[in-house]
Structure 1
């Protein structure tokens, strides 16, 4: 499914796509500043009414109430993700948002994890967000 996003309010369409999916692992793909963390923030805000969401760029993982896990592989990368035992974390009940997780896709497939991939593209003053099931 593709969505045209012109404002924060439009992210509700993408959040509904995530909630309707049976996949609880969500790979977030997009350029720096495209809105990956903003999407997670809006999801967390809707689920648990919490505004304080930041990207776990240096920590690699943030955990929010309601079993919402947020990972960022931008600085640490896939090697650190695996060596820190984060792959086992994906077995936990809840939503798992992984920013910059494209390199992780082959590993997820190899271990039988199903996931939703969200691709964010900037086009002028709007964003095009596509949700793909794997």
Structure 2
């Protein structure tokens, strides 16, 4: 299912994702500059966190707190293989009931045993974005 939006419609895009995702594990796929982190910022805000959201490119994971939950935000762009994922304990993050938002998820996908949601980003004309939401299992 597709949703096209501009930056001033980012709140509507986050509502679309939260209403249609069948999993708390959400994978963000798309080229650099496609709007992945921007949408994650809005999702984290919509989920109730007031933390400042930034891409965890060098730390691999950022944690954001809500009143009664934790959201994990991964950027796996610099991860070279599955062994690195296991070395920092990826399984402890993905096998809980927390939101797990993952940019550059290609290495992680084969490891996922439960259902997850994929968001594929595409830049369209006039600086709008299209996300294709795919629920697995």
For this structure pair, what is the TM-score category when the shorter chain's length is used for normalisation? 0.7 to 0.9
Q: Distance in 1 between matches of 2:10 and 2:20?
A: 16
Q: 5+ residue gaps in structure 2?
A: none
Match of 1:75 in 2: 78
Query: In structure 2, do the counterparts of structure 1 residues 16 and 98 end up closer, same or farther at CA, with 3 Å as the change threshold?
Result: same
Structure 1 residue 11 displacement after superposition: 4.4
Moved more, 7-16 or 55-64: 7-16
| In structure 1, distance between residues paired with 2:81 and 2:120 | 19
* Structure 1 equivalent of residue 29 of structure 2: 29
5+ residue gaps, structure 1, are none
Structure-2 change in CA distance of 1:58 and 1:122 (3 Å): same
CA distance in structure 1 between the aligned counterparts of 2:63 and 2:28, rounded to whole angstroms = 17
Pairwise CA RMSD: 1.8
Partner SS for 1:70: strand
Distance 1:83 1:46, change over 3 A: same
TM-score by length of 2: 0.85
Partner of 2:118: 117
Residue pair 2:63, 2:72 contacting (<8 A) in 1 also: yes
Cα displacement (A) at 1:102:
2.1
TM-score (norm. length: structure 1): 0.87
State the Cα distance separating 1:84 from its structure 2 match.
1.0
Count residues in correspondence: 131
Measured in 2, the distance between the counterparts of 1:8 and 1:91 equals 34
Instruction: Report the secondary structure of 1:102's partner residue.
Output: coil
